[in-house]
Chains A and B, each alone.
Chain A
Amino acid sequence: MAYRALPRIDRCAERLERIFPRSAFDTVLSSPGAGAAVAAMLYVDAVVPDNAPVPDDARWVRPTTCLWLSEVAYARTDAASRTAYYRAAVGARAKEKVAALHASWGHAHVPLYGDNTRETLRDETFPGWLDNGAMRVRPGVKTTSPAPRWALCESFADLFDPRLLGDQLVAAIDAWRDAHMTPGAKLKALTAQQREQTQHAVRVTLPDGTVRELEPGEASVILKGVIEVWAPARLKDAVVLTVSEPGDKIYVADAKVLGQLGLRIDQATLLPDAVLVDIAQQPPVFWIVEAVATDGAVTEDRKRALIQWAQSQRIPDGGCEFLSAFASRNSAAARRRLKDLAAGTFAWYADEPGAELAWYEL
């Protein structure tokens, strides 16, 4: 594989500041840490096409892939070292492997940044670049996943070519800004991103026949089971009121349905993963569902919080039932949380859809 020429790490931050001047943009877009992140992505070649479909062998990074880069590694510009660093830094037990790799080079691993600086990259720098068309995220990876999911856009990476200097650099930066920072360009990037997402999305059919696309992820698969399998079997006449997804999207039933039920679902404070209502019962029974992929089952604490939330959304007290939904009785989350399920709640396992676990107080 042909790797790109590497600029000096400190030059990356300098160049970032020319692209995102601090007098005009948030400093997190051009901080030394951001510069190191660019350097790391160039080092491991986490660079993908701007708009074209991403090839299967494209490389993606985690924030830590960037933080754990060392001066020692960066000085080893040969393809073998760079590939070795990439392999070590994105897999399981990455930090140990990166340290072992450095040991095999005869050096201690001295990362450029500590692990505790990754939040800035993850929550501010990368999203800022993403917004400005400098980055792409790997489609089909859920937001909460620890899998590597970030890469630089090709055109952006090109701006860091160390041979690009003087007027040429100025012209390249201007051209890049013109092409990526206008509202139209942003909209284009956003649409492309959404299109990719839907290719990997989990499609769920609601009781009324409409189809929703949920963000990829195990929680979405569990929710799909709850809505398509559990609800028709358990409820007489099910209506899905809300489904929150791992990303920032929320499905909320239309205002008319909510109005008829006297509800007011505030999206900003939505707590449960899904709310279903059985309107065949009088009064209607509200089912508050938590889809547990990693954590978040209905424990006593959670139940109390959900009841309070339900009251604030005008869901009547006492008209609520609670369901924790898991992928399997064997899943780590299910095994860990069995002992914590709140009294008077139910559990359902997607791989045994014909059964439901009830936890009564005697």
Chain B
Amino acid sequence: MTAPAERAKLSLARELGARGSRNPVGEADPAGPLPASACDVLAVVPAWWEAQARAFGLSGRWLDLEQALDASAPEAAGGGSRTKRLDLVTSTAEDLGAAYVASLDAGVRARHGRHYTPPQLSVRLWTMTRASLGLVRGRLGPLPGLLRDPACGAGALLLPPVREHVQALAHSDPRVTLAGIPNLVEGIDADPAAVWLTNVVLAAELLPLVALVPEARRRPLPALARVGDGLEAQERSARAVVMNPPYGRVRLAPDERARFADVLYGHANLYTLFMGAGVEQLDAKGVLGALVPTSFLAGRYFSNLRTTLAATAPLRDATFVEERDGVFAGVLQETCLAVFSRRKARKVSVASMNGRVVDVAKLAAPRGGAPWLLPRRSDDAPIAAAAAAMPLNLGATGWRASTGPLVWNRRRADLADEAGEGRCPIIWAADLDGGRLHRDPSRDAFRYITLRDDRDAEVLALRSPAILVQRTTAPEQARRVVAAELTEDDLHRWGGQVVVENHVNVLRPRDPNTAPIVSRGLLCAVLATECIDRVVRCVSGSVALSAYELEALPLPPPDVLRSWEGLRGAVLESAVHRAYRLG
């Protein structure tokens, strides 16, 4: 166990900054005091254990958790009511863990990314991980080496592999299996109560083995999880690391920033660090299986993570989890199960999961730090494969994307509904609906902003023609790319200058003196094609399209682009489609 002083330092280093800009900063101690409801769950654990042990015909000291398991209960377990959650006595290990996490304060859950992994996801992640480890489908196999979960929570991800290991060794000497298991399974977490729960549920999986050992030769069951920092460098390398790491931005101490320099770019997200540390811990045949948001596939802040992963442990297998709201209460991001392996892989299998698992595609493993294009649906697979092989991206054609500079709620006092001295009209995302620039009446109350001075105007005002692209679209909108041209005429009509709000991306020529390969009109028309919309859906599974992702949009070679000049409508649509189709 880490010394308290040291732990305090760690937790300060990992103090969770706000996600977005309005949330309060989290408390320093990630394992703050437990709410009474959580204590009640912990208090029923000894009774749960007794029921489990009895079911195996065990008796005496084996019914007493304190004697049977080489780990002591956290203080909080003593504080709860032993009778409030009697419903949990006959529950499964998974339900017990889920009940603990559900009993935590919602704020703590959100800030510290403590989410229980639902059984169907932990089973699926293990199925994918074991396949990459070379275990044969449909045949039980013992663990081929150390399996670690550096953010084990209540142990959900470790249950399926431990279960399989125990069953695969049903024919072996149970004492040997029991003695070997601490070398094969390791959980780490910062929350002592969760660690204890992990130890209890994993030990319960070992009870059938205990029952087979003669009474006199039984030893207390080992604690397989420990309190610690999952990001620390580990002495033992692991054959497999599985994780459902916490998410959220963190502020890092300079030494830690240096340690994770390989995987960081800009803001550090906790799950980036866990993935980076996870890969670092793998041995030469190691496999990393992670349940993570899909933002790492495309986001700018994850570009170094992608580069490092592609070079050291390429993506082998990805399953997108559909039905976002059903997976984790309160988490809105698209999530995926991703498996990486040290062994080089040429292909990556993509599947989607929505109750049942459906194979989507098998494509070349993504390389480099640019956004990884992975189709979410089979009908997008050929487009994704073609796009991934394209030589250019939007940025390379001479266009630069930036985010609209106006954050309206910081300038609330300067907004007005009518034109006036020193005021400049604002372009809102809604003004681009339908792919044509217009004044959306719903924004009329905040149509103008007072520019304070020249510097303010310098930062905010747009005085040259551009292409405007919505940065987020509503899920119910048919298209993910909604772009509109801001022509000289438009600018003139709007008074010569406009201020673009920050839910809009602005595309401008990178160099004002050099014409981009694609003209503004053509680019705008290309962005409006159905084909490009589908490419974008392979870049980002969410409704957001950042300036970075926009610049990374794959495009065909210059001669093809030039051949589109002058085409519009259905003719352009079919020309673009031809470029992005295979076969």
Contacts and interface: CB of A to CB of B under 8 A. Distances in A.
B543 interface: no
Interface string A306-319: 00110110101000
A181 interface: yes
A184 to B, nearest CB: 9
Contact of B583 (A21, A128, A180, A182): A21
Interface in B85-123: 90-92, 95, 123
Nearest to A319: B57
Given A24-B361, A263-B55, A183 B170 contact: no
- Chain B interface size, as a band, is 35 or more
Given A255-B92, A260-B90, A266-B167, A21 B358 contact: no
B260 to A, nearest CB: 34
Contacts of A266: 163, 167
Contact of B55 (A170, A190, A262): A262
Main secondary structure of the interface of A (DSSP, over half): helix
A63 to B, nearest CB: 20
A21 B385 contact: yes
A259 B379 contact: no
A24 B582 contact: yes
A183 B362 contact: no
Nearest to B364: A23
Contact of A177 (B56, B92, B379): B379
Q: Which of B364, B378, B381, B578 has the most CB of A within 10 A?
A: B378
Q: Which of B54, B171, B362 has the most CB of A within 10 A?
A: B362
Q: Which of B52, B90, B171 has the most CB of A within 10 A?
A: B90
A264 B92 contact: yes
Given A256-B90, A262-B55, A308-B170, A183 B358 contact: yes
B375 A24 contact: yes
Interface in A1-57: 17-19, 21, 23-26
Contact of B359 (A128, A180, A256, A263): A128
A180 B583 CA distance: 18
A182 B377 CA distance: 6
A295 interface: no
Q: Which of A23, A173, A181, A261 has the most CB of B within 10 A?
A: A23
B140 interface: yes
A286 B466 CA distance: 75
A132 interface: yes
Given A25-B381, A178-B379, A314-B55, A269 B140 contact: yes
A283 to B, nearest CB: 9
Given A256-B90, A316-B57, A23 B352 contact: no
Given A24-B384, A314-B56, A181 B166 contact: no
B140 A259 contact: no
A266 B161 CA distance: 12
Interface string B336-374: 000000000000000010101011011110000000000
B379 A182 contact: yes
B212 interface: yes
A259 B583 CA distance: 54
Interface of B: 51-52, 54-57, 90-92, 95, 123, 140, 163-164, 166-167, 170-171, 207-208, 211-212, 322, 352, 354, 356, 358-359, 361-364, 375, 377-379, 381-382, 384-386, 389, 577-578, 581-583
5 contacts: A181-B379, A183-B352, A269-B167, A309-B170, A311-B212
